[in-house]
Amino acid sequence: MRVIGYLKGETGARIFSDYLYVKGVECQLERESGDQFAVWVHSEEMLEPARRMLEEFGANPGDPKFAAEGSKAAAMRQAAAANDEAYQKRVRGRSETINVLNRGGFGKLTIATIVVCVGIFLLMEVNDRLWGLCFYWLSISNFKASGGGIGLPEVLQGQVWRVITPILMHGSFIHIFFNLWWFKDLGGILEWRLGWKSLLALIGIIAIGSNLAQYYTTGPAFLGISGVVFGLLGFIWMKGKYDPDFGLQLPQVVVFMMLLWLVLGYTGVLDRSVGKIANTAHSAGLVMGMLCAFLPIWGAKK
Q: What is the pLDDT of residues 18-53, one digit of tens each?
A: 888 888 888 888 888 778 888 988 888 888 998 999
Range 9-16 contact pairs with CB under 8 angstroms and sequence separation of 24 or more = 9/35, 9/37, 10/35, 10/37, 12/57, 12/61, 13/37, 13/39, 14/70, 15/61, 15/66, 15/67, 15/69, 15/70, 16/53, 16/54, 16/57, 16/61, 16/66
The CATH number of 2-90, from 3.40.50.2300, 3.30.70.2350, 3.40.50.720, 3.40.50.620, is: 3.30.70.2350
- Distance, CA of 11 to CA of 115 (rounded, Å): 69
Query: Could you report how far apart the first and last alpha carbons of the chain are, in Å?
Result: 43
Average pLDDT over residues 267-286: 81
- Distance, CA of 158 to CA of 173 (rounded, Å): 32
CB 185, CB 101: distance < 8 Å: yes
Q: Return the pLDDT at 64.
A: 84
- Distance, CA of 93 to CA of 96 (rounded, Å): 6
Report if pTM > 0.75.
no
The CATH number of 94-292, from 1.10.3720.10, 2.40.110.10, 1.20.1540.10, 1.20.1280.290, is: 1.20.1540.10
- Distance, CA of 149 to CA of 145 (rounded, Å): 12
Residue-wise pLDDT tens digits, 109-135:
999 999 999 999 999 999 999 999 999
Does 171 have pLDDT greater than 80? yes
Does 87 have pLDDT greater than 70? no
Residue-wise pLDDT tens digits, 191-242:
988 999 999 999 999 999 999 999 988 888 899 999 999 999 999 999 988 8
Q: Return the pLDDT at 103.
A: 54
Annotated domain spans of the chain:
2-90, 94-292
